[in-house]
Amino acid sequence: MILSEVPDVSFGIYECPYPYKRLLSPELLKWCAGTGRFSFLKDTCCDPEQIEAKLDAIRGTSLKLFNANAATLLKSLDMGAAGYSGVMVNFHPDLYVRLLQLQRGNVAEAVRLQQFLGLASAVERQPYPLNAKYHLSLEGLSIGLHGRTGGNASLSASMMLEIEQLRGMEQQIREMFNLHTF
């Protein structure tokens, strides 16, 4: 078993969201937490009920759940999730930081920001990482628009417009929450 072969290493777990969705059960997470060797779970279930069951299974241990789904993020934080670890952080990391800050002290504003972040996460359904690379190129980062190895995905003109419109809304949200633009 790998745990015995590398005794001084703490592990993280990333549930497989694609192409074959593979999720961990609360029972398996409880076992992982009980070993004391696991500290990070990137949860990809996108289901608040499953997240709550997983959080219950690891509560009081060193294993922390990080939600990869922006639409369920605030709900999961309220249930005890440790944070966010999703692809949308490539688009607007500062807004996720602000959500975490607001969740701790200004619930009404956190809900307002969550509504934007949840809707904005629909861009995840576009070919990733091409969509994130295109967004970053709009921010001035000189980056090639290449897909995953072996893939032939591309962004259509309407997809590019969606990303450009998302960027415009991000700027408005930043102004609303008194954040500086990049």
11 near 42, Cβ under 8 Å?
Answer: no
Encode pLDDT of 47-94 as tens digits.
999 999 999 999 999 999 999 999 999 999 999 999 999 999 999 999
Model pLDDT, residue 181: 61
Average pLDDT, the chain: 93
Encode pLDDT of 121-135 as tens digits.
999 999 999 999 999
Distances (CA, A) of 113 to 5, 87, 107, 160: 45, 17, 10, 23
The runs of H, that is alpha helices, within 64-152 are 73-79, 93-103, 107-120, 130-138
Model pLDDT, residue 44: 97
% residues pLDDT > 70 (the chain): 96
Model pLDDT, residue 33: 98
With vertex at residue 161, the alpha carbon angle to CA 147 and CA 166, rounded to the nearest 5 degrees, is 90
Tell me: pLDDT of 143 over 70. Answer: yes
CA distance 137 to 118: 23
DSSP assignment, residue 148?
S
Other residues' Cβ atoms within 10 Å of the Cβ of residue 76 = 25
By three-state DSSP, how is residue 84 classified? Answer: strand
Model pLDDT, residue 100: 96
% residues pLDDT > 90 (the chain): 83
Q: Residue 28 has which token pair? A: 């398996």
Among 50, 134, 49, 42, residue whose Cα is nearest residue 83: 42
Cis peptide bond N-terminal to 129, omega within 30: yes
Query: Across the strands, what pairs with 41?
Result: 13, 65
Verdict on whether the full-model pTM lies above 0.85: yes
Model pLDDT, residue 81: 98
SS3 of the chain: helix, strand, coil, percent, to 5: 55, 10, 35
CA distance 58 to 132: 32
Model pLDDT, residue 97: 96
Tell me: pLDDT of 152 over 70. Answer: no
Residue linked to tokens 């639409």: 71
Between β-strands 11-14 and 64-67, what pairing exists: parallel, antiparallel or unpaired? unpaired
Give me the mean pLDDT over the 29-53 stretch: 97
